Structure 1
Amino acid sequence: MINYEVYEQEIEKGNIKNGYIFCGLDEEFIKDGISLIIKKNIAEEFMDLNLIRIDGMNTSFDAIMNACETMPFMGEKKVVVVYRSNFLQDKTDSSGTKIYNDIKSYISNLPPYTVLIMYYLLNDKRDRPNKNKKLATIGKSLTIVYCDKLKRDKYLKKVSEVFKEKGKQIGRTELSYFCEKVYNNFDIIKREADKLISYCGEREIKKEDIDILISKSSEDDTFDLVELIATKKIDKAIDTMKEILYKSDQHMLIISAIQKHFLRLYEIKIKLSNGKKVDDFMSDYRLPQFVCEKLIMQTNKFTEKQLSELIKLCVNTETKLKSTGIDKNMEMEFLLINTLTVKK
């Protein structure tokens, strides 16, 4: 099994295998990876003839095999893409198991002129391809490409390419800001980029444009609030809290989010003292590098004792919010004011 970065390097070198299986959470990211092979193997004018796409959720082994066995037209290679190949998932129904078993027997005899590509989507963040026994077996004949989240520099470069493909340049500062604001999913990234490009027209993209078009996530709000607590800017923290409550009048969800954030900072603090690095946090929390770096920087603004006390404050506030007949907004403000009393 290889990750996306290794796969990309191999394709750039021209080391293209006869078969691949892609898996990950981001389908648009997987499709971009597959397009690298297609462009390397098929001339634009023969794309309709030498590229075959098959719906993996509504197919049979015979359909896949027949597509692979057909000779390419006016070219050396043809590419067969079986998208959403759910029969590759660890648990499938009897028909999916049959297709998998037939494919497993067939792939060692793939024609030299065919590149067979199959992909399936992972169920959630906890679903890991290295736990899939089917991949362990079929991976002896086909290359498994795990499309996990990219590291910061690679991620920024790929998002920058999204804008370039759409004929628009974006400054590095604005690019970093865009990446921080948008959800790390290339389907969403491309749609948000389209909105931004249409809005800005011929002029350059500015941070203000990004603020107008891409609303802050609850995670961003929580991070900003904790940052104000760290710098003891409680007046601004109260104003920020009011803005959050205005957007979502759900006190319990907000206090829970703040508590979880402090808990994560506490965990990072402990792990840092035990020698953990950025790469470890990227793996542990399934977050991109720049987000982990921001969390580490924020963690350094607190002592271990402070974070422990802040978590207790949140728990106490949550308990009070569950009581009836209290002013919930006032309790939230008390929480912020009480953070000033937490000593190092």
Structure 2
Amino acid sequence: MPIWKKLEQKQLSALYLLYGTEAFLIHETKQRLIQSVLTAEEMDFNFSSYDLEETPVETALEEAETFPFMGEKKLVILNNPVFLTAERSKDKIEHNIKKLEEYIANPAPYTILVFSAPYEKLDERKKITKLLKKNAEVMEANKLSDKELKSWLRSQAAASGAQIDEEALDHLLAIAGTDLMMLASEMDKLALYVSGAQPITVDIVDQLTARSLEQDIFSLVDKVVTGQAEKAFRIYYDLLKLNEEPIKILAVIANQFRLIYQTKELARKGYGQQQIASFLKVHPFRVKLAAGQARGFSDEQLAAIMMLLANSDLDMKTSAMAKPLIVEMFLFKLQSLMSR
């Protein structure tokens, strides 16, 4: 059961460990904890947050062991506990880990102590890590799978009193990308627009959702794959009108084709989409879309495109040709290559 589901049921623990690289999920869980533990009036007296890259842990523990000034509970958040990882701290802060171990074994009953660790992995060999994972409520906040991402989006819609159909979900992800902060903002806007009167549909998503540069480039590549060169050029010219830098546009095009090439190669070797996403450190939904686009290219075409991109990148850095024209020439050559 996710931590926030337990919070809705008022199932509070004395210790929480939030770790992973998905910053939005960690932030969201912190906010839910604050809302579950403290009233607005109690925040000034019973809430504390420490950065353990600047403050010794024993200082935070002294706060955790102090009785609440008003109310029944206090909330103390410990950010960046690098001592839970195999990394070496960049600063010279010395932490009294022995005192922390003693606290974890016998936490103050009136304090909710939260460890916020924005790291992909913790060092499971360390005694302190084992002890904390054994005694704390743990949430791993890493990249969501395609299924988890859609479930999370549905819950975001439901929290705003809205519903979204499956096709609209796919379209939202295709347009807005997989950044949770961006998706949460877009879902709030969509839910406000429908006001619970109707489901969120593909047309509504298309009308209201802001497109990221990456998603515009995905659409551009898709138009090339499907032989819609005129629409591909229209997307490019629109990006120039929006003052996007040609060198940045070319870099994002290169990233997309690199992902397509790598996805095709790894799929050929028998990797599944989830494995490919993990190996390439990208979201599974991006791999799913890249796999679909990869079917539109032969191995020879992809190899030639990678060479075209390398040459265009060199021209960007060394040629006197206007930078917008370099990208335009690349698109003409790409169109010619795809028509063979």
| Shorter-chain TM band | 0.7 to 0.9
Post-superposition shift, 1:101? 5.2
Alignment of 1:265-344 (within 5 A): 265-321=260-316, 322-325=318-321, 327-328=325-326, 330-340=328-338
Find the residue that maps to 2:282 and give its secondary structure.
coil
1:139 corresponds to which residue?
Answer: 129
Post-superposition shift, 1:168? 2.5
Post-superposition shift, 1:14? 11
Find the residue that maps to 1:150 and give its secondary structure.
coil
Aligned sequence identity (%)? 19
Cα contact 1:52–1:67 (8 A) shared by 2: no
Separation (CA, whole Å) in 2 of partners of 1:246 and 1:35 = 39
Residues 63-94 of structure 1: CA deviation (Å, up to 9, x unaligned): 534535749x998xx57441524565741534
Which one is further off, 162-171 or 80-89?
A: 80-89
2:227 aligned with 1:232: yes
Separation (CA, whole Å) in 2 of partners of 1:329 and 1:289 = 29
Separation (CA, whole Å) in 2 of partners of 1:52 and 1:178 = 40
Cα contact 1:229–1:339 (8 A) shared by 2: no
Cα contact 1:18–1:114 (8 A) shared by 2: yes
2:188 aligned with 1:156: no
**CA distance change for structure 1 residues 258 and 92 in 2, over 3 Å: closer, same or farther?**
closer
Cα contact 2:223–2:231 (8 A) shared by 1: yes
Separation (CA, whole Å) in 1 of partners of 2:314 and 2:175 = 32
Post-superposition shift, 1:61? 2.4
Separation (CA, whole Å) in 1 of partners of 2:327 and 2:107 = 66
Which one is further off, 298-307 or 208-217?
A: 208-217
Post-superposition shift, 1:31? 4.2
Cα contact 2:23–2:141 (8 A) shared by 1: no
Cα contact 1:182–1:189 (8 A) shared by 2: yes
Separation (CA, whole Å) in 2 of partners of 1:121 and 1:160 = 25
Cα contact 2:21–2:143 (8 A) shared by 1: no
Post-superposition shift, 1:307? 0.6
Gaps in structure 1 of 5+ consecutive residues: 123-127
Cα contact 1:52–1:80 (8 A) shared by 2: yes
Q: Please, which of 113, 121, 128 is the counterpart of residue 129 of structure 1?
A: 121
2:185 aligned with 1:191: yes
The residue identity in structure 1 corresponding to 2:25 is F
Post-superposition shift, 1:10? 9.2
Separation (CA, whole Å) in 2 of partners of 1:294 and 1:206 = 20
Post-superposition shift, 1:142? 1.2
TM-score of the two chains, using structure 1 as the length reference? 0.75
Q: Please, which of 169, 173, 178 is the counterpart of residue 175 of structure 1?
A: 169
Residues 85-134 of structure 1: CA deviation (Å, up to 9, x unaligned): 45657415344x32555323432233567653211334xxxxx323x58x
Separation (CA, whole Å) in 1 of partners of 2:82 and 2:99 = 11
2:212 aligned with 1:220: no
Separation (CA, whole Å) in 1 of partners of 2:265 and 2:112 = 48
**CA distance change for structure 1 residues 317 and 188 in 2, over 3 Å: closer, same or farther?**
closer
**CA distance change for structure 1 residues 213 and 86 in 2, over 3 Å: closer, same or farther?**
farther
The residue identity in structure 1 corresponding to 2:100 is I
Cα contact 1:68–1:80 (8 A) shared by 2: no
The residue identity in structure 2 corresponding to 1:335 is K
How many matched pairs? 325
What RMSD, in angstroms, separates the aligned Cα atoms of the two structures? 3.9
**CA distance change for structure 1 residues 153 and 213 in 2, over 3 Å: closer, same or farther?**
same
Find the residue that maps to 2:17 and give its secondary structure.
strand
Alignment of 1:51-130 (within 5 A): 52-57=46-51, 61-65=58-62, 67-68=64-65, 70=67, 80-86=75-81, 88=83, 90=87, 91=89, 93-95=91-93, 97-98=94-95, 100=97, 102-111=99-108, 116-122=113-119, 128-130=120-122
Separation (CA, whole Å) in 1 of partners of 2:101 and 2:91 = 16
